[in-house]
Chains A and B, each alone.
Chain A
Amino acid sequence: MSDTPKFTPSRRQFLAGAAVATGAAATGKLVHAQAAGPDPLITELQPWQQYLGDGVDARPYGMPSQYEAHVVRRNVSWLTADSVSSVNFTPLHELDGIITPNGLCFERHHAGIAEIPPGEHRLMINGLVDNPLVFTMEDLMRFPRENRVYFLECAANTGMEWRGAQLNGVQFTHGMIHNVVYTGVPLRLLLEEAGVRGNAAWILPEGADASAMTRSIPLEKAMDDCLVAFKMNGEALRPEQGYPVRLVVPGWEGNMWVKWLRRIEVGDQPWHHREETSKYTDLLEHGSARRFTWEMDAKSVITNPSPQAPITHGPGPTVLTGVAWSGRGTIPRVDVTIDGGITWHQARMSGPSFDKSMHRFYYEFDWDGRPLLLQSRAHDSTGYVQPTKDQLRMVRGENSIYHNNGIQTWAVNENGEAENVEIG
């Protein structure tokens, strides 16, 4: 029996009867408790009950269960010219809580993954400073550190959906986001160490990879909450996330969080580099474009049910869940509708609520087996309410790529299968 995930309801469909249950040995499929007779999984001795498993030396770096092998980042190959300058997507429909495991954090790089020996990494601060400095990783580890949880969302997340429902899965529509606890040195301390001059107003962080990524960031933000981070979720940054050190720019678009951070220049004007002119500017309907749209607006999405995670248990108690976040604060409230917005319900928030971090919400209901139109609507701590896609299009037109934070709709049919749709 194949163990390969198929994104159809059969994947987790209830396998009724004792005969099927014995035949389904060693599958990861979840089944619905229903006794047609004594369950051989209970009445018969199973191998794991009898034989010894791996010892402590077998898995020095622990990996997920073999039955979770389908939980991986995925690429949409037609989006980009080549996988070395591309993006893959976090499988949001397989995750819960608020923290994204390191191996599932989406990747976006512009010249592949730089592999830098930490002993050979240098971070330079130059420009409008009293004393231009070079730090080694060891130097950085001697500054006081902070631990903070932040979401990182690519400004292009949901960017394929501006003109209508396109990709049929929350991983692809909303998976350019992750939420991680970072350990790092406040950028403020490094800038103070170099002595920022009076006319300084901007910084230019730069990456050590072959794209030498640069972005202009106002000094005010740099001195406020940016971190120079070397740990994610307690362990060293993954190579694809900028090992050995990256910039953390809380609440602002992911492109600014320069990975493999090698240099920070201090200046009195922005640099208007490629990633803040040709890219990451927002072309509006009348042909003009917004620049420096750094903050990520409040947004939410239902992760389950969704096209990759259909309802497989039939009518009855059903858990709807999703995530919400805002680049301007916390998410005190999320509303959910299951009838396409005729009636809304306040979802139940669960888990820690941190500033500029992902939040988890739930809405439990008894599904009557009829089709559903699911939506969620985030409210952030500034009072901003997540708009519909149509509201965004009214202001911006359809030529934007970035900053699509419109409300997502999933249509669920009688079989529990879900589809990405738009409603009117």
Chain B
Amino acid sequence: MSKSGNMMKTFTLSTALVVATAGFALAQENPAPSREGGYGLGRTALPEEIAAWDIDIRPDGTGLPVGLGDVYTGEELFVDLCSACHGDFGEAVGRWPQLAGGYGTLESEDPVKTIGSYWPYLSTVWDYVHRAMPYGSAQSLTDDEVYAIVAYLMYVNDMVDDDFELSNENFLEIAMPNEDNFFMDDRAETEYTLFTGEPCMENCRESVEITARATILNVTPEQEAAAAAEAAAAEAAAAAEEAAVVEAAAEEAVAEEAPGPDPALVAQGETLFRQCASCHQIGEGATNRTGPMLNHTYGAPVGVHEGFRYSPAFQAARDSGMVWDDASLTAYLMDPRGFIPGNRMAFRGLRSEEEAAAMIAYLRAAGGDAE
């Protein structure tokens, strides 16, 4: 597209706006000037940089890397990395997205829009799993692992048999069942003419009656939020008082020599904990989410947080008498699946003992030790 063409277009648009909306448009639309040959700002992107960031895939296969993966491998990966939110078969846990099933529901009163029932292109699945999943550990999968997970998602959507292998070679042969049910926005033709013209202003109807009321459903969080705000305010006031007491106590403690956790280590652990926060809560008010809440973990037996449904692997570890100490936490955090095989935590592990030490320091500082 030529630069002079662009400038012409801009000029025409702003002129049209001035005519349409008079004074204010002038103030708002005073276009920044183009410069012939550009401003000479920025620098050329290197091929390595483009390769690192240009990860998008299109339906025509553009961007798809060489690789392959089969349903069986995909199932293992999916159960390990995805099932905590999406269920073992893509049926979904809680309000996380359902990935499989839903065929024949799009015309019903309760449409279930899954990869199989709704998504028009397989490339979208590959692109999205690769760019954003597993949740909280984006872009950690290898290309072959993505192929395998996509193959498994095709399998749970009854698109292929269990011996199927997906690769860049056969990728473009796959057509999604719902591809033809999408069409371009047609509101200009189907709606705009219906929704224009001078409407009635007087004696427009004879009577009016209420046909639906929101209060009957009672799903608005207003009162809850107000109560929470009240509680939070009371808590803040209490915390302020408490802080003063704690501070005073801390001063005394320092005098008596109490080696607290290394603040730098705790801070490092807090940063590392971001990878965990999509499933785990810690600190005041922490509750079980996709994973158990983590208060009072250090020094406690494995798998004892109340109300959390642990995997059989965790129950077995608990029954064997395992306790969370430096050694077991370090081993588990560095290799969750190796240390307690068959557990459901969708995390591949920290990279070093140093990271594990930081994480343990943070767990102890933020959540306290076993009571």
Q: Which residues of A are at the interface with B, using a C-beta cutoff of 8 A?
A: 2, 4-7, 69-70, 72, 74-78, 80-82, 84-85, 110-112, 124-127, 131-135, 139, 142-149, 164-169, 172, 185-186, 188-189, 192-193, 195-198, 200, 204, 206, 210-212, 214, 219, 223-225, 262-263, 265, 267, 269, 271-274, 277-278, 281, 283, 285-295, 297, 307-308, 329-330, 335, 339-345, 352-355, 373, 377, 381-387, 391, 395, 398-399, 411, 419-424
A139-B41, A206-B56, A419-B213 known; A283+B111 contact, CB < 8 A = yes
- Determine the chain B residues whose CB is within 8 A of the CB of A146 once the complex forms: 30-32
State in angstroms the CA–CA spacing of A5 and B205 once bound together. Answer: 38
State in angstroms the CA–CA spacing of A231 and B167 once bound together. Answer: 45
Report if B142 contacts A (CB, 8 A): no
Q: Which of A196, A292, A381, A419 contacts B214 (CB 8 A)?
A: A419
Q: Does B3 contact A272, Cβ atoms closer than 8 Å?
A: no
What are the 3 tightest A-B residue pairs by CB atom distance, in nearest-first order?
A340-B208, A144-B32, A420-B214
- Determine the chain B residues whose CB is within 8 A of the CB of A385 once the complex forms: 195-197, 199
Q: Smallest CB–CB gap between B102 and chain A, Å?
A: 12
- Determine the chain A residues whose CB is within 8 A of the CB of B24 once the complex forms: 352-354
Q: Which of B25, B196, B205, B222 contacts A383 (CB 8 A)?
A: B196
- Determine the chain B residues whose CB is within 8 A of the CB of A164 once the complex forms: 212
22 contacts between A and B (CB under 8 A): A124-B53, A142-B41, A144-B32, A146-B32, A149-B28, A169-B220, A172-B221, A188-B6, A189-B34, A223-B6, A224-B10, A277-B120, A277-B182, A283-B111, A293-B185, A342-B205, A384-B192, A384-B196, A395-B191, A419-B214, A421-B210, A423-B208
A144-B32, A186-B32 known; A193+B41 contact, CB < 8 A = yes
Extra A-B contacts (18), CB below 8 Å, given A165-B212, A330-B20, A353-B21: A4-B226, A5-B226, A7-B223, A74-B221, A112-B277, A133-B42, A167-B214, A188-B6, A225-B13, A271-B57, A277-B182, A289-B118, A340-B205, A384-B192, A385-B196, A391-B194, A422-B210, A422-B211
State in angstroms the CA–CA spacing of A352 and B222 once bound together. Answer: 32
Q: Does B190 contact A341, Cβ atoms closer than 8 Å?
A: no
Report if B327 contacts A (CB, 8 A): no
B167-198 Cβ-contact flags toward A at 8 Å (1 or 0): 00000000000000111111100111011110
A192-B6, A373-B208 known; A274+B127 contact, CB < 8 A = yes
- Determine the chain A residues whose CB is within 8 A of the CB of B222 once the complex forms: 7, 168-169, 307-308
Report if B289 contacts A (CB, 8 A): yes
- Determine the chain A residues whose CB is within 8 A of the CB of B233 once the complex forms: 4, 69
Report if B95 contacts A (CB, 8 A): yes
Q: Does A168 contact B215, Cβ atoms closer than 8 Å?
A: yes
Q: Does A143 contact B39, Cβ atoms closer than 8 Å?
A: yes
Q: Does B187 contact A329, Cβ atoms closer than 8 Å?
A: no
Which of these binds chain A: B131-139, B238-246, B250-258, B297-305? B131-139
Q: Does B32 contact A297, Cβ atoms closer than 8 Å?
A: no
Query: Which B271-292 residues have a C-beta within 8 angstroms of A?
Result: 277-278, 289-290
Q: Does A166 contact B50, Cβ atoms closer than 8 Å?
A: no
Q: Smallest CB–CB gap between A159 and chain B, Å?
A: 14
State in angstroms the CA–CA spacing of A411 and B208 once bound together. Answer: 11
**Complex: chain B residue closest to A276, CB-CB:** B124
- Determine the chain A residues whose CB is within 8 A of the CB of B9 once the complex forms: 223-224
Q: Does B41 contact A293, Cβ atoms closer than 8 Å?
A: no
- Determine the chain B residues whose CB is within 8 A of the CB of A189 once the complex forms: 32, 34, 39
- Determine the chain B residues whose CB is within 8 A of the CB of A204 once the complex forms: 56
A185-B32, A341-B204 known; A290+B132 contact, CB < 8 A = no
Q: Does A272 contact B59, Cβ atoms closer than 8 Å?
A: yes
Q: Does B220 contact A168, Cβ atoms closer than 8 Å?
A: yes
Interface range, B side: 35 or more
Q: Does B204 contact A6, Cβ atoms closer than 8 Å?
A: no
Q: Smallest CB–CB gap between B46 and chain A, Å?
A: 8
State in angstroms the CA–CA spacing of A294 and B185 once bound together. Answer: 8
**Complex: chain B residue closest to A344, CB-CB:** B201
Report if B94 contacts A (CB, 8 A): yes
Q: Does B184 contact A291, Cβ atoms closer than 8 Å?
A: yes
Report if B58 contacts A (CB, 8 A): yes
- Determine the chain B residues whose CB is within 8 A of the CB of A308 once the complex forms: 222
**Complex: chain A residue closest to B2, CB-CB:** A198
**Complex: chain B residue closest to A160, CB-CB:** B219
**Complex: chain A residue closest to B21, CB-CB:** A330
Q: Does B6 contact A6, Cβ atoms closer than 8 Å?
A: no
Q: Does B13 contact A224, Cβ atoms closer than 8 Å?
A: yes
A168-B214, A269-B60, A385-B195 known; A5+B185 contact, CB < 8 A = no
Q: Smallest CB–CB gap between B55 and chain A, Å?
A: 8
A80-B95, A277-B120 known; A283+B113 contact, CB < 8 A = yes
Q: Does B111 contact A2, Cβ atoms closer than 8 Å?
A: no
A188-B10, A291-B184 known; A272+B205 contact, CB < 8 A = no
Report if B203 contacts A (CB, 8 A): yes
- Determine the chain B residues whose CB is within 8 A of the CB of A353 once the complex forms: 21, 24
Q: Does B138 contact A271, Cβ atoms closer than 8 Å?
A: no
Q: Which of A2, A281, A395, A422 contacts B182 (CB 8 A)?
A: A281
Report if B351 contacts A (CB, 8 A): no
State in angstroms the CA–CA spacing of A234 and B55 once bound together. Answer: 34
- Determine the chain B residues whose CB is within 8 A of the CB of A132 once the complex forms: 44-45, 50
Q: Does A342 contact B203, Cβ atoms closer than 8 Å?
A: yes
Query: Which B127-157 residues have a C-beta within 8 angstroms of A?
Result: 127-128, 131-132, 135-136, 138-139
- Determine the chain A residues whose CB is within 8 A of the CB of B166 once the complex forms: none
**Complex: chain B residue closest to A146, CB-CB:** B32
**Complex: chain B residue closest to A285, CB-CB:** B107
- Determine the chain A residues whose CB is within 8 A of the CB of B121 once the complex forms: 272, 277
Q: Does B124 contact A277, Cβ atoms closer than 8 Å?
A: yes
Report if B209 contacts A (CB, 8 A): yes
Q: Smallest CB–CB gap between B268 and chain A, Å?
A: 16
State in angstroms the CA–CA spacing of A355 and B106 once bound together. Answer: 37
- Determine the chain B residues whose CB is within 8 A of the CB of A2 once the complex forms: 230
Q: Does A288 contact B183, Cβ atoms closer than 8 Å?
A: yes
- Among B95, B109, B131, B220, chain A packs the most CB atoms within 10 A around the CB of B220
